[in-house]
């Protein structure tokens, strides 16, 4: 499970702020990204023309398929289904993982006791639990939400815990030297210091949660974007299939960019 | 009696007020041992006795690892001695507003503004929110940083960061200011400017200061008395009989300054060369 160490964090801060080559204007970035998108679409088109048996639909065919799906309302319904599963599972994961990570970090014995079980669970491929979850919770929304939860909760928990544990001992000593008590040190020094770690965990959790949303929809009652993926994949409707894949990618981008924005807002002091 | 508040100053007038010469910090036969992670016990202080009188500036010098930081941490109450007695203004030290600690690495809270960093040291005092803000502002003003109050530490230069740390330590109006190599992380030029700044502030407020440094010049420039430490103990004490106000140029070319510097340097060199733990042990460095 990836974690940031303080050194890595410092390095990214440097890369973000100090290196002159790493600071092009927002407009330049947008232009470069658009250019790259055009290149990707071109490559896609070339591939669609050259790969046999219509396995890759052309960009135009995909666009038409998107129009059809939107017109019929299938896509909106699927996106809505998937997002509600995704956000429920991810939300519950946040509500559980952050407080648990904080408590584990605050109480040394509790943290030391639980951490090996947390690491063990996070090292186990979560798909291994899906048959068990289906037996226990059935094929409905609860099972899906639980599968998403299970994927998202670990990175958030582990990073929150790590963030609380690695509080800067020099700052803590400074706080002690001015007479701050344990509670004030925890709320004013330790917790704010853990925020960058928590955000890394949230970002990882968001990605894994989205993956697990699709996995859950494929394994359980076939609904949502994962459901459409299965249907179109099995019937070789590749244009529709591509629309679904692109929708998932878009959701992923929106969520990670949102978290990056939150990170920037919280980290304004870094500049 | 604490040192004067901002405003009610006047160079020299408070120099010999009541409380002068009464020790504000006393260490009596202090002993301190630490357990290393590998279980080995190190004696950081074997027998340290010293005192700092009110409104006196004492510099503590000595080779690396001789226990200077440990003395400051004991004086603040961050750690307790294993043996011997420590008092600040007559009672056992406890971390808080009675002492002001300035660290070599500044130790500012990076996500808090300069103003909030100074206020952080005032939160245990019985002050209203407005009084606290006002107090922080007046000490930021004293160190010349009123215009940076809303900046974050990351936006400041090293010298400015250390000014914030100094304002934070002064703002609680402590019995004694404990400074641990506060200018060691600054470039040479900024260091000299900060020394001048500290001389200036000292003349205005006459704080009681215990100042750790590796620089003989810095100790001579700033201090009324210099305590020379060897491994875990006090070796000698020197009075610096150079009148105030002092300043960088005049004081450093003063004949007494030069004579004392040579004297102290010779002592420290002998100390280091005769210490089996030192990397310079047994070297012939001319002298
Ligand atoms: N918390 C600690 N645990 C173990 N050993 C310690 C601890 N604090 C200090 N020591 C040891 O005590 C001795 C004195 O340390 P101290 O930091 O007081 O030295 P110093 O004079 O401030 O050195 P420097 O000039 O390098 O800052 C050193 O040998 C150090 O390794
Ligand atoms: Mg030290």
Q: Which residues of A touch B76 (CB under 8 A)?
A: 177
CB contact under 8 A, A270 and B97: no
Mean pLDDT, residues A241-264 taken together? 90
pLDDT band for A18, please (50, 70, 90 cuts). Answer: low
Minimal C-alpha gap between B106 and chain A (Å) = 9
Q: What is the reported pLDDT for B7?
A: 39
Mean pLDDT, residues A8-14 taken together? 42
CB atoms within 10 A of CB B193: 15
What are the distances in angstroms from CA B25 to CA B17, B50, B81, B171?
Answer: 18, 8, 14, 19
Q: Which residues of B touch A270 (CB under 8 A)?
A: 110, 154
CB of A170 less than 8 A from some CB of B:
yes
pLDDT band for A7, please (50, 70, 90 cuts). Answer: very low
| Distance between CA atoms of residues B132 and B116, nearest Å | 10
Instruction: Write out the residues surrounding ion ligand 2, Cβ under 5 A.
Output: B 69
Does the Cβ of B232 fall within 6 Å of ligand 1?
no
Mean pLDDT, residues B127-149 taken together? 96
Mean pLDDT, residues B43-72 taken together? 95
Size of interface A-B (CB pairs under 8 A): 54
> Tens digit of pLDDT for each residue in A138-155?
888 899 999 999 999 999
Q: What is the reported pLDDT for A10?
A: 42
| Distance between CA atoms of residues B239 and B26, nearest Å | 18
The answer to whether residue A23 scores a pLDDT higher than 80 is no
Q: Which residues pair with B85 in a beta bridge?
A: B28
Q: Which of B50, B61, B69, B275 to mutate to test the pocket of ligand 1 (most atoms within 8 A of CB)?
A: B69
The answer to whether residue B12 scores a pLDDT higher than 60 is no
Chain B contact probe: residue of A6, A169, A173, A179 with most B CBs at under 10 A: A179
The answer to whether residue A11 scores a pLDDT higher than 80 is no
Q: What is the reported pLDDT for B10?
A: 37
Q: Which of B35, B68, B279 to mutate to test the pocket of ligand 1 (most atoms within 8 A of CB)?
A: B68
Q: What DSSP line would sit under chain A, residue for residue?
A: -----HHHHHHHHHHHHT-GGG---HHHHHHHHHHHHHHHHHHHHHHHHHSGGG-S--HHHHHHHHHHHHHHTHHHHHHHHHHHHHHHHHHHHHHHHHHHHHHHHHSHHHHHHHHHHHHHHHHS-GGGGHHHHHHHHTTSHHHHHHHHHHHHHHHHHHHHHHHHHT--HHHHHHHHHTT--HHHHIIIIIHHHHHHHHHHHHHHHHHHHHHHHHHHHHHSS--HHHHHHHHHHHTT-HHHHHHHHHHHHHHHHHHHHHHHHHHHHHTGGG-
Sorted by sequence, the CB contacts under 8 Å of residue B107 that are 6+ apart come out as A170, A171, A173, A174, B165
Burial of A271 per CB tally in 10 Å (0-12, 13-18, 19+): exposed
Q: Name the more confident of A39 and A54.
A: A39
CB contact under 8 A, A174 and B101: yes
Express as a percent the part of chain A with pLDDT over 90: 62
Express as a percent the part of chain B with pLDDT over 90: 80
Does the Cβ of B34 fall within 6 Å of ligand 1?
yes
Q: Which of B39, B46, B70, B212 to mutate to test the pocket of ligand 1 (most atoms within 8 A of CB)?
A: B70
Q: For residue B180, what is the DSSP state? A: E
Cis bond leading into B245, ω under 30°? yes
The answer to whether residue B198 scores a pLDDT higher than 60 is yes
Mean pLDDT, residues B270-281 taken together? 80
The answer to whether residue A271 scores a pLDDT higher than 80 is no
Q: What is the reported pLDDT for B274?
A: 83
CB contact under 8 A, B124 and A179: yes
Q: Name the more confident of B53 and B4.
A: B53
Minimal C-alpha gap between B113 and chain A (Å) = 8
pLDDT band for B2, please (50, 70, 90 cuts). Answer: very low
* Nearest atom within ligand 1 for CA of residue B68: 21
> Tens digit of pLDDT for each residue in B164-181?
999 999 999 999 999 999
Give Dmax (Cα) for chain A.
Answer: 75
What are the distances in angstroms from CA A201 to CA A22, A86, A108, A192?
Answer: 24, 16, 21, 15
CB contact under 8 A, B96 and A271: no
Sorted by sequence, the CB contacts under 8 Å of residue B284 that are 6+ apart come out as none
Mean pLDDT, residues A119-124 taken together? 89
Q: Name the more confident of B4 and A178.
A: A178
pLDDT band for A17, please (50, 70, 90 cuts). Answer: low
Closest alpha carbon to A147 in A221, A47, A250: A221
pLDDT band for B226, please (50, 70, 90 cuts). Answer: very high
Q: Name the more confident of B239 and A262.
A: B239
Mean pLDDT, residues B193-222 taken together? 95
What is the rounded average pLDDT for all residues in chain A?
88
Q: What is the reported pLDDT for A20?
A: 56
């Amino acid at each position: 499970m990836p974690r940031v160490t303080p050194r890595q964090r410092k390095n990214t801060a440097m890369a973000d702020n100090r290196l002159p080559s790493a600071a092009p204007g927002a407009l330049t970035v947008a232009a470069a990204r658009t250019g790259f998108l055009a290149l990707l679409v071109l490559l896609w088109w070339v591939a669609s023309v050259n790969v046999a048996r219509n396995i890759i639909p052309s960009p135009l065919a995909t666009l038409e398929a998107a129009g059809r799906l939107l017109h019929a309302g299938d896509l909106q319904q699927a996106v809505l289904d998937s997002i509600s599963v995704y956000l429920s599972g991810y939300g519950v994961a946040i509500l559980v993982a952050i407080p648990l990570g904080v408590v584990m970090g605050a109480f040394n014995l509790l943290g030391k006791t639980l951490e090996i079980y947390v690491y063990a669970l996070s090292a186990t491929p979560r798909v291994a639990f899906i048959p068990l979850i289906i037996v226990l919770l059935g094929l409905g929304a609860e099972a899906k939400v639980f599968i998403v939860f299970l994927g998202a909760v670990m990175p958030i928990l582990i990073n929150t815990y790590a963030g609380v544990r690695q509080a800067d001992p020099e700052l803590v000593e400074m706080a002690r030297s001015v007479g701050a008590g344990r509670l004030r040190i925890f709320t004013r020094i330790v917790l704010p210091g853990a925020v960058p770690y928590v955000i890394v965990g949230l970002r990882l959790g968001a990605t894994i949660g989205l993956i697990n949303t699709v996995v859950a929809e494929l394994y359980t009652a076939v609904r949502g974007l994962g459901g459409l993926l299965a249907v179109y994949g099995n019937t070789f409707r590749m244009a529709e299939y591509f629309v679904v894949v692109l929708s998932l990618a878009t959701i992923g981008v929106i969520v990670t960019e949102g978290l990056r924005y939150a990170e920037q807002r919280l980290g304004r002091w870094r500049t | 009696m604490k040192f004067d508040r901002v405003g009610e100053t006047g160079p020299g007038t408070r120099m010999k007020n009541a409380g002068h010469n009464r020790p504000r910090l006393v260490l009596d036969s202090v002993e301190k041992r630490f357990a290393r992670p590998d279980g080995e016990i190190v004696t950081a202080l074997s027998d340290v006795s010293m005192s700092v009188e009110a409104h006196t500036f004492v510099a503590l010098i000595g080779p690396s690892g001789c226990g200077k930081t440990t003395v400051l941490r004991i004086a603040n109450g961050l750690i307790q001695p294993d043996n011997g007695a420590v008092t600040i203004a007559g009672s056992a030290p406890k971390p808080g507003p009675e002492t002001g600690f300035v660290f070599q690495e500044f130790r500012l809270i990076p996500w808090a503004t300069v103003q909030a960093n100074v206020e952080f040291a005032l939160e245990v005092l019985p002050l209203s929110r407005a009084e606290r803000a006002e107090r922080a502002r007046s000490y930021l003003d004293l160190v010349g940083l009123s215009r940076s109050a809303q900046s974050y530490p990351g936006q400041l230069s090293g010298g400015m960061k250390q000014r914030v740390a100094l304002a934070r330590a002064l703002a609680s109006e402590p019995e004694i200011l404990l400074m641990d190599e506060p200018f060691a992380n600054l470039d040479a030029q900024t260091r000299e400017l900060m020394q001048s700044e500290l001389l200036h502030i000292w003349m205005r407020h006459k704080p009681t200061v215990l100042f750790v440094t590796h620089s003989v010049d810095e100790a001579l420039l700033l201090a009324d008395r210099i305590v020379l430490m060897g491994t875990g103990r006090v070796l000698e004490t020197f009075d610096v009989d150079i009148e105030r106000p002092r300043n960088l140029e005049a004081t450093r070319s003063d004949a007494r300054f030069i004579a004392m510097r040579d004297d102290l340097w010779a002592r420290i060199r002998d100390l280091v060369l005769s210490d089996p733990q030192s990397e310079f042990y047994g070297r012939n460095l001319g002298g």
